[in-house]
Each structure stands twice: as C-alpha cells, then as structure tokens.
Structure 1
Amino acid sequence: MLLTGFDAPVEQVMYLDKVVVAHNLLQTIARVNRVGGEAKDKGFIVDYVGIGHHLKQALDNYDERERKEIENTLSFPEQELRELQAAHAGIMALLKQHGLTDLTDHDAFFDVFYDEDIRFAFMLAFKQLTRALNTVFPAREALAYMADYQALTEINVLAGKHFRDARLSMKGIPPKLRAIADAHLQSAGIDIKVKPISILDEDFEKDVAKHTRTKTKAAEVEHAIRHHLDVELDDDPDLQASFAEALAAIFEEFKNNWDKIYEELEKLRQRIKEVGKEPTYGLNRKKQMPFFRLFRGELEMAMEQSPDYGGKPDERIAVLVDLTQQVYNAVERELKLAGFWESIPARNKLKAELQQIFVASRFDKVPDLVRKRQAIISRVMELAEAKNDTILYAE
C-alpha cells in the first residue's frame, strides 16, 4: 500500500521496521515528501532496522545528476541538530551584541528594537531558530532549547504590540511549536488575541506608565500615534498629513532628548484625541468634515495674506459649512455614476461645477484664496477619490 498509489500529503513521519532495498526503498521513503501545507516543510523517516547502506546502494543505480537531486533532498539528524545549535547561537549572539542578555527585561529589548534594522535582524533570526527547532522537535535534543525559545516568543509578541509591528507575530509558527508557545504565553498572562490599546482609550496612559524607561514610554506613544494615523485617519489625508508633520517636527527639534520627546508626544496625542470632540456644525464627521477641514485650512492660510477680510468667525464658519455642503453634494452625485474615475469628461464636468460653486461663494473677498481655487479644486478631487468608498457606502 505504501509503494503503489499511496499519496497522502498530510503524512509526515514513516517508521521503517523491515528491510527495503533498491528502487523500492527510494519509493518508500518518498511517501512523506509530498507538499502538505505551510506547517509541513519536510518528512521524517524513523529507521529501526538500519537501511543506511541500502540507501547508498539504491542511489548508485541513478546517474550523477539524478543522484545529486535526490541527495540534496535528504538530511540526517546530526545535520539538523547542528543547524539548530547554529540558529540558537546566532540569535543569542545578536542579542548579546546589543547588550541584551536578560531575556526577562522586556523594556531593554524595546529600547534596542526601536532601531528598525536591529528589530528586523531579530525577526529573521527568530524565524530561522523556529524552523530549525521545528525540524528537531520533539527529539530530546530539542528540549535544551525550549526555555530560551519560549522567552524569545514572549519578547517577539510583546515587541509586536509595543511597536504595532505586524511582522512580529505568531503567524507562521508551525502548529506543534505554536501550541507550546501559546501555552507559555497564557501562563505568563499574555493574550495575543487582545489588540494593543488605542491612543484614544482612557487606559492608554496607564498602560504606558508601566514601563520604567522614558525612551520605552515615548516609543510606545510614538508607534501608537503612527498606527492611529495610518489606520484611523487614512480616509482624511489632510488631517493625517498635519499630524504626521507635527510628529516629525517633534523628533527633528528634540533629537535624542527622550524626556522632552515623551512630553511633546503626549501633547500631540491629546490633540489627536480632541479631533473626535471637535464640533461638526451639522456635517457628517466621516464624509463631510474632511472637506470642511480642507477649506478651513486654506482659508486660514489665505487670511494671513488678507488680514482685512472682515467676516466674523461665526460668519466664516457658516460660509465654510455652506461651501462644504455644496461641494459634497456635487461630489456625491457624480461619484454615483458608474465608471466615474475612468471617465475624463465626467471628471472635467465635476471640476467645472466645483469652480462655479467656489466662485459663487463669499470668499471672493480673499484674493489669495481666489487665485488658488484651481489648486484647491484639485485637492478636492484627490480627497474625493481617496474617500470614494466612504462617501458612497459609509453611514
């Protein structure tokens, strides 16, 4: 049965307790080399009778090219163990090079892993160790490495949460190691299913305060902000860009002064939180407010060049709201047309309508704003394309 017509890709281990020779031997041991999913990277032969010399004789029946192809697919326990030893020595040497000798000092790892190149080197070394350990485990020789592997798994998961880095995850760890790693993480009180706390959460500050180093705290706030900008504000490019610029300015102004960086990052986080509390003046927060912010920002810059513009703040807000509603209604109506973005005439028609709306607004008293109307209309089109799905489908 194992020699003729047997094809079970899931089969990974074969136990040989009888002598098989020549072509039958190669055909037999090949039963475990079928591709069987990501968790299976090779098959195992447990030899109870000693077929080593028979294997050599079987290979002699092939020409040199075929023999090399077959030999390249074979490996032996001594080789696998040497690869595990090398992978373990490699990752420990990498950590020691950066002063990381205490696998329980997670904040020390976070501070070093702030350097993305070092973090990436750790990722590669950890994956290599995982592959090597998976090959040898559950042989008793693998047990000597399990304590370090569990500690490194804990570091990998916690660093992934700290830096909001999805590459540092449990994805890709083979099932037999994953079960052991999950059990260890559970015993350590680490739930990999719980997402990192949002910067908008009331408990975020308390969570950050658990760290003992200022750089560690600052790094967590920084990466939490970056994650928020990428994920939560991806449909509001103007707001996203303004906060990204503020973030970059902090690091530019206070290079390596982590106390000041942490302080300024906390201020920026509070500003971001306030966005959710800003008045909407009856506009839809997701659909219309990004356009409102665009027009308000342009008006504020233009008024620096036209300070004598006499409109009162409430009057300017009313004009902005009216402009936003007119522009949004025109954009929404045109976007509902099938194939709008592929149609140059349709886009030109919308641009012409936006120009009419803009010229008819009360901002004709702000010369700088009037001169920039074509650029502003282009930005409206860019924003409309970025928010296409939100405008059409969001509630």
Structure 2
Amino acid sequence: QIIEEIARDIEKHFTEHFKDTGLKAQIVAPSKYAAILFQNFFEKRGNINTAVVISNEPDKGDEDNTHKIEVVKYLDKIRKNHSNITKYEKDVIESFKHGESGVEIIIVVDKLLTGFDAPRNTVLYLSKDLHDHGLLQAIARVNRLFENNKLPKTAGYIIDYSENAKNIDTAMKLFGNYDENDVKGSLIDVSEKINELEQSYGLIHDLFNEIKNSSDDEVYLQFLKDEAKREMFYKSLNDFIRNLNECFILQDFVHEFKDKIGMYKKDLKKFMEIRKSASLLYRERVDLSEYKESLIKILDKYVDAKGVELLTKQVNITDREQFKEAVENLGSDKSKAEAIASQTQRTISEQMDKDPEFFERFSKKIEEIIEKMRLGKLADIEALKQMRLISDDVLNKKGDDLPKEIKGLNGSDVFYRNLKVQFEGLGVKNEVYVSIVLDIFSILKQGAIIDWQKNMDVKRKIRNTIDDYLYDVVKGEKGIDLDSDFIKSIIDTIMLLAENNFELFI
C-alpha cells in the first residue's frame, strides 16, 4: 500500500511537470520486490513509460520467499522478451539517455546510482534510505544541467519519501574531499526559492514603476523604446519564468501560494504579450518558442495550448496573415507603421547582399516615411498605408520597371539592377545592356554545379568564361570600350552577386 501511494504521487508529479518534455527521472526503490511493484503500478496505469533495472544477485532486503519468487519471475520474463538481461539493460539505458521519448523513468535499487551519466536525468525519487558516499553519488546523478529542446533543465530535483535529508550533512563530513559542485544546492531552502521568485516578479514591476496607465500596452511599448530598458525587461522576464517554473515543481507550492498564483499567471501572460510586441516593434527576433513548454504548464488556467502556441510562435513577415495579426494587436497606427517598418528593415538587412540596389532603395524609402511621421509631416494613418505597400513590394520584389526579357527569366533582375550604373556610365543603350545581362546569366547557369559556390575550380572557370565574353563579345563584337580595371571590377561584382544568390543556379 505504501509503494502504491508513493507511485501515485510520483505519477502526478512527473506527469504535471516533466511528461513529454524530454527530461527523465529515476526511482530508487527499497528492494527489488518494491521495484517490481512500482513497475507493475506504472504498467497498469499506462501513463508513463518506465523500466526496471536491477541486478541478478540475491537481494538481502527481500527476506520473504514470496518476494524472491516474484523477482525471479520478473527477471525470467525479461530474459524471455529480450534474449538476455544484459541486452535489456543496454536498450533501456540507451532509450533513457538519448531519446526525447522512450523510457521516461528508470526504477532501480542499487544499480545506476554511481557512474551513470545521463544529463536528461532530472528528478530522483527516493523511497529508500541512502547513506554516505552512495547518497552523494545519487544526488550527483541529477545535478547536471542540460540544454533540452523542449524544457531547459535548470536544476535537478530530489523528492524524498524516506529520511535522506538528514543524511546529507553526515555524508559531506565523512567525505570531505568530495566534489562540492556535484551536490551543491542539494538542500534548497524552499523559502529562499520563493523569495527569488518574488524578487524577479518585483523587478519587472519596478522597471515599469513610472508608468501610470498600466492597462495600456502602448505605453509600455513606448517606454521600452530604450534598448537598455528592453534588455532589463527581457532578462527579468526570463528570470521570472524560470523561477516560477521551478517553484511549480516544488511540493505544496501550488497549495500554499494559491492566492498569488493567479496574479503571477495573469501578469506573466500580459508581460509575454508585451515582450512579443516589443520584439516586433524594435526589429528583434520574435521567436519565443523556448518558453512554450514552461508556459503551457504555468498558464493552463488563462490560455489553452493553442493560446500558448500563438503567444510563443515566431512572427515571420513572410507569413502575411500571421504578421498582419501580430501588427493589428499593437493598437495605434503609429506603432503599427513602426512595427511594419522595423520588421521590413530586418528583412532588408538579412537580404541586402542578395540584391543591394533593390533593398537599399526601399530601406531609404522606409527611413524617409518614418522620419516624416515622427516629425508630424505625415499622418500616422498615411504612414501606415505607405508602409504596408512598401512591405508588400519588398516581399514580392516589386516597385521597379523591368524589361520583359528580364521579367521572364527568374533571377536575372538581380544582375540587371546591380550592374546597370556601371554599364550606363559607358553609354551602353538599354537593349544592348539587357542582352549582356542575359548572356552573363546564361554563362552562370551553364557553369554552375551542385555546391559550385564552394568549389574554387568551378568558380575560376566561370570567371574565365565571363572574362572571355567581356573581351571577345562585349568589347570586340559590340564595340564597347572596356579597360582591364572595369572588366575586373564587373567580374568581381557578378561573382559576388552570384555567390550570394547561388540557389538561382542549381
């Protein structure tokens, strides 16, 4: 009955905080028979994938002959299903250590408490008294940080169903040469952890202390225009999320602090929305998916899983509907215009090397519109209208008058725009210039192979072919006066554009 009560508590705790996160746990049972009872409970319930790893030696803790028989039967079942126990243990450990899914909890008695390194191992459920070096080794198993994809491991947790807490000091005194970092923080004062939570919560509110109308998100966004304040806000919010998530894992936290939890959750949702809007407005990466698993567990009363998905989903300007929805949530026309400008400029910055002439032109247009709006020379609604048009032009590469031959050949527009000034300086007529661009584009197409941009020999051949074309055809046949410096400069520009747009030629 005691084992079943402990198993129910473990199931509840693990399911609420770690199920499907990729983080794992160990149960230390008082005997092999108890380990099998744990396993039978979890198998019957079917909520958590567990496995028993016990030795094949006689167990001094199981004096009852009936218990010994049950252990033998279980080990025989393992041999039957897995050919031998060694292979079974190897498969279990592999699944536990390296898979996000697979075995979630390993149930042990003495094995895997020393020398077992599994960074995913996050929780140690102790239903057995451990002493001295064995206790310190067991603690060290979960006290390793781990960069987990779904839910970062910021601490290890020990849930003690026995009396191990009083044994730690004794163990530390006996083994004075033991690495303190392995067991540092093993005994955490719960009040200190809660104090950290309240401090991180208070820091966010202190930052916004001068804001009078706290119900208007627009005021927060204008306040966060200062980069230093934004960085402070982001850091404080990260600390608050981490501390709140860690406190939720502590036993009895939800029950004892139920009066404050509603307030924490409500403010967390509000601050996450402000963070997302600020990131959108100030040209920053808007990917908040790292918080998704933590927020699903914390915000369950205020938003459903879909709500958390929307709150943490990266906003991408190329996803028009998603971007439009995010912008509409900002409120004023001014903020909407600035957000579109900011994110469009970020796209321009990322794509600038691919087509400098095109993107530089639109970057200047955006700066002019926003400057006029801020000086009051352009109405906010008109600035918003113009920014929407520019954003569409940038995404679809519209806004300039291209010859039909260039329009009909995808990618040739890049070279048409960026070589034009140099050839116009030589007095080359547009129809002749178009034919030159198409010829150069054809040379690039014919010379490119897979990963050509990384292959020096292929690039050298392409350069030589373009060089021959400029000398023999452009200078010789078309009679355009090209000197060696011009040819070298134009080839350098062509190759740089081609490498920055290498995917056009595959």
TM-score, with structure 2 as normaliser: 0.61
Distance 1:235 1:179, change over 3 A: farther
Distance 1:79 1:165, change over 3 A: same
Distance 1:360 1:325, change over 3 A: farther
Q: Distance in 1 between matches of 2:112 and 2:325?
A: 62
Counterpart contact for 1:60–1:67, Cα < 8 Å: no
| 170, 178, 186: which one aligns with 1:66 | 178
Counterpart contact for 1:88–1:129, Cα < 8 Å: yes
| 282, 300, 309: which one aligns with 2:405 | 282
Aligned 1:41-80 pairs, distance under 5 A: 41-47=154-160, 51-63=164-176, 66=178, 68-70=180-182, 72-74=184-186, 75-80=188-193
Name the counterpart of 1:88.
201
Aligned 1:184-199 pairs, distance under 5 A: 184-186=302-304, 191-192=310-311, 196=315, 198=317
Instruction: State the Cα distance separating 1:380 from its structure 2 match.
Output: 1.7
Is 1:385 paired with 2:504?
Answer: no
Structure 1 stretches of 4+ moved >6 Å: 187-190, 202-207
| 129, 145, 149: which one aligns with 2:268 | 149
| 159, 162, 173: which one aligns with 2:291 | 173
Identity %: 19
Q: Distance in 1 between matches of 2:218 and 2:466?
A: 53
| 360, 376, 390: which one aligns with 2:490 | 376
Question: Which amino acid is 1:129 matched to?
Answer: F
Name the counterpart of 2:468.
353
TM-score, with structure 1 as normaliser: 0.75
Counterpart contact for 2:315–2:323, Cα < 8 Å: no
Is 1:244 paired with 2:328?
Answer: no
Q: Distance in 1 between matches of 2:323 and 2:451?
A: 44
| 289, 293, 304: which one aligns with 2:417 | 293
Name the counterpart of 2:43.
none
Counterpart contact for 2:366–2:387, Cα < 8 Å: yes
Aligned 1:240-279 pairs, distance under 5 A: 240-248=359-367, 254=372, 256-257=374-375, 260=378, 263=382, 267=386, 270-271=389-390, 273-274=392-393, 275-276=397-398, 278-279=401-402
Aligned residue for 2:404, secondary structure, equals coil
State the Cα RMSD in Å: 4.2
Name the counterpart of 2:74.
none
Which runs of no fewer than 5 residues in structure 1 stay unpaired? 304-308
Counterpart contact for 2:289–2:312, Cα < 8 Å: no
Counterpart contact for 2:140–2:182, Cα < 8 Å: no
Q: Distance in 1 between matches of 2:160 and 2:347?
A: 55
Question: Which amino acid is 2:389 matched to?
Answer: Q
Distance 1:234 1:56, change over 3 A: same
Distance 1:272 1:11, change over 3 A: closer
Aligned residue for 2:348, secondary structure, equals helix
Q: Distance in 2 between matches of 1:82 and 1:234?
A: 50
Counterpart contact for 2:133–2:171, Cα < 8 Å: yes
Instruction: State the Cα distance separating 1:235 from its structure 2 match.
Output: 2.8
Q: Distance in 2 between matches of 1:16 and 1:383?
A: 63
Structure 1, 290-299 or 193-202: larger mean CA deviation: 193-202
Instruction: State the Cα distance separating 1:3 from its structure 2 match.
Output: 3.3
Counterpart contact for 1:237–1:383, Cα < 8 Å: no
Name the counterpart of 1:325.
438
Structure 1, 234-243 or 14-23: larger mean CA deviation: 14-23
Distance 1:248 1:128, change over 3 A: same
Distance 1:225 1:259, change over 3 A: farther
Listed one character per residue, the Cα deviations across residues 315-362 of structure 1 (whole Å, up to 9, x for unaligned) are x44223212111111222233498575137535513422422442576
Distance 1:360 1:254, change over 3 A: farther
Counterpart contact for 2:466–2:491, Cα < 8 Å: yes
Distance 1:242 1:265, change over 3 A: farther
Question: Which amino acid is 1:112 matched to?
Answer: F
Instruction: State the Cα distance separating 1:85 from its structure 2 match.
Output: 1.7
Aligned 1:104-115 pairs, distance under 5 A: 104-115=215-226
Listed one character per residue, the Cα deviations across residues 115-145 of structure 1 (whole Å, up to 9, x for unaligned) are 3333232222221112111211142247252
Is 1:128 paired with 2:239?
Answer: yes
Distance 1:335 1:363, change over 3 A: same
Distance 1:88 1:379, change over 3 A: same
- Between structure 1 and structure 2, the one with the greater Rg is 2
Aligned residue for 2:405, secondary structure, equals coil
Structure 1, 275-284 or 54-63: larger mean CA deviation: 275-284
Instruction: State the Cα distance separating 1:375 from its structure 2 match.
Output: 3.0
Q: Distance in 2 between matches of 1:197 and 1:35?
A: 31
Q: Distance in 1 between matches of 2:301 and 2:377?
A: 37
Counterpart contact for 1:87–1:128, Cα < 8 Å: yes
